[in-house]
Amino acid sequence: MTDRHSKNYLSLLDEKTVSLKRQFSGIQIPVISVFTSPESHFRMRAEFRIWHSGDKINYVMFKKGENNTPIIIQNLPNASRTISALMTPLLKAIESQGILSKKLFQIDFLSTTTHQLLVTLLYHKKLDESWEAAASELQSQFDFSLIGRARKQKIALNKDYVIEEMTVNNHLYQYQQVENSFTQPNACICEKMLNWAVDNTKNSQGDLLELYCGNGNFTLPLSKNFKKVLATEVSKTSVKSAHYNIELNKTDNVNIVRLSSEELTQALNKTREFRRLADINLDDYAFSAVFVDPPRAGLDDETLKFVSQFDTIIYISCNPGTLTDNIKNLPNHTVEKLALFDQFPFTDHIECGAILRSALKAQQRE
């Protein structure tokens, strides 16, 4: 990156910081910790539509609402170096085999910081044995795992996941990341988020409850700071990956249960029993903190009421607007720490983290 480009990046990041402060108008906040991203090659995953012009195919993207006007993508500086290096040779290899290019409408890439790569080809046709033979030949040309998808079809020629690595508090964690499941797109920022969450929960007392844990991304490093962790998730695929990652990282104080926040509330209030909790005694937990990473809509009213019972709320947000709305409805909590994570450089998107403490807990820490 040129110095000029870097200055532009830092200027845009300053604008985000000012915007975040503005969002928190009327709420007492500490100095915001700002975490920068690499300015290029930061995206570990990418999705491209495919545009056909005779026998030639191109990666394309579309402006919002303009699906008939493709923008041809020759390269994507934001994509990881692993993805960037493969884009052109892969397209040429697919183009050379008509059976692979015919009715291909999208290519998805999922990469890691350790240069593992998973490629998914999506089709408007049924995939047969001849496609599988050609796809196997394609996979053998490159160092990646290949998946073919069509309506009601998924063919994984090797495996349907990659293993990512993150270093948190000088400890190496490994994560299975499954194709077509949510993962943090910016690995550098993800690692900084994990370290921030761990640094700001050191010396915690009691147990941690995590709502919607995904594949255990935050769960595993946070487990070092708590006696026990109970994590919930509704996606069967994510629950399976979370269990895989617990074993992979030899973690022994985490339980994963497939429940929604509403179901968990019912279970904790003993208003309903769940077979999925048959091997877990909720009375064994003394929760002192809750971790939440909700969608853009933020926490719904019932979940907000539920988390208000906790002394400490660790809140990761992809929408400062709904975060501030939620905080205003937590009158007994104050913002002890606030961070801006530049997940998507050169965009208006703001990812942030907040540590909220109950008034009583904050007084005890003083």
Query: Hey, which of 123-127, 260-264, 301-305 has the most confident mean pLDDT?
Result: 123-127
Among residues 161, 193, 228, which one ends one of the domains?
Answer: 161
**Interacting residues of 115 by C-beta distance below 8 A, sequence separation 6+:** 82
Please give the average per-residue pLDDT across 180-195, as a whole number.
96
Residue 66 has pLDDT above 90, yes or no: no
Residue 362 has pLDDT above 80, yes or no: no
* Structure confidence at residue 1 (pLDDT): 43
Residues 104 and 224 in one domain: no
Q: Count the neighbouring beta carbons within 10 Å of the beta carbon of residue 23.
A: 17
Please give the average per-residue pLDDT across 121-129, as a whole number.
98
Among residues 161, 195, 220, which one ends one of the domains?
Answer: 161
- Is 47 marked active-site? no
> Residue 103 belongs to what domain range?
45-161
* Structure confidence at residue 2 (pLDDT): 44
Whole-model pTM?
A: 0.93
Residues 15 and 34 in one domain: yes
* CB-based contact 207:283 (threshold 8 Å): no
Full 3-state SS string of 274-331: CHHHCCCCHHHCCEEEEEECCCCCCCCHHHHHHHCCCCEEEEEECCHHHHHHHHHCCC
**Could you give the C-alpha distances from 51 to 58, 59, 67, 107, 134, in angstroms and in order?**
5, 6, 11, 11, 21
Residue 157 lies in a domain: yes
Q: Count the neighbouring beta carbons within 10 Å of the beta carbon of residue 176.
A: 22
Residues 24 and 67 in one domain: no
Residues 347 and 216 in one domain: yes
Choice among 318, 336, 352, 366 that is catalytic: 318
Residues 82 and 197 in one domain: no
> Side-chain half-sphere of 92: how many Cα atoms within 13 Å?
8
Residues 87 and 21 in one domain: no
Residue 170 lies in a domain: no
Beta strands 117-123 and 104-111, pairing class: antiparallel
- Is 318 marked active-site? yes
Residues 86 and 8 in one domain: no
Residue 180 lies in a domain: no
Residue 16 has pLDDT above 90, yes or no: yes
Number of domains into which the chain is organized = 2
Nearest to 87 by CA among 108, 116, 101: 108
Residue 4 has pLDDT above 80, yes or no: no
Residues 351 and 248 in one domain: yes
* Structure confidence at residue 18 (pLDDT): 96
CATH code where residue 245 lies? 3.40.50.150
* Structure confidence at residue 138 (pLDDT): 97
Choice among 188, 351, 352, 366 that is catalytic: 351
Residue 308 has pLDDT above 60, yes or no: yes
Residues 26 and 62 in one domain: no
Q: Which amino acid is at 63?
A: K
* Structure confidence at residue 121 (pLDDT): 98
* Structure confidence at residue 273 (pLDDT): 87
Residue 172 lies in a domain: no
Strands (E), the chain: 33-35, 45-53, 56-62, 70-72, 104-111, 117-123, 145-150, 153-156, 161-168, 171-178, 207-211, 229-232, 254-257, 287-292, 312-317, 333-341, 351-358
Q: Count the neighbouring beta carbons within 10 Å of the beta carbon of residue 206.
A: 15
